[in-house]
Chains A and B, each alone.
Chain A
Amino acid sequence: KNEVEQSPQNLTAQEGEFITINCSYSVGISALHWLQQHPGGGIVSLFMLSSGKKKHGRLIATINIQEKHSSLHITASHPRDSAVYICAVRSGGNQFYFGTGTSLTVIP
């Protein structure tokens, strides 16, 4: 069993839809990161969360430490949001565990 589970694996949405990607983890963590990987391989960090909620533009990330669960929301989705979104958790010893990613396609 993976330490980090994401759902859904694949997601297709119409432009403008509200999107939610879920992440559950089974290890103790210091922080949770949401990453975005575009075709071609480059990965960028979107958020780092240790509690509560963060918002950046149309992206919102929440975490529930007690339930070991995080969600990434995209409001008013746009085709340029099409990418693979990866949940990663960092343990107390700075070891990272990665989900397998959610492939998002937003159709115009």
Chain B
Amino acid sequence: DSGVTQTPKHLITATGQRVTLRCSPRSGDLSVYWYQQSLDQGLQFLIQYYNGEERAKGNILERFSAQQFPDLHSELNLSSLELGDSALYFCASSVTDGNTIYFGEGSWLTVV
């Protein structure tokens, strides 16, 4: 158990819908990262937050957004969902920049 908690574990939704994925980082970790794992794209970095502020942005679509709240939990919002958004979404956290990054078990999103 890495200590990073993600909910929901599985989610099935229809095209055009909006979903929110939630992540609780390890206790004391200030940095939160979101990754997308799909069969054709592999593991893609989406976005990083550090202590509530956006730190780095990767291949995140404009239909996706994220935030980190004062209690350090984070949410990834996915809207206008398309079939191609079906993937495993990982949240990860680290104490601060440059420390080892620990991953949650992921949220499986299926868009039908």
Real complex partners, A and B?
A: no
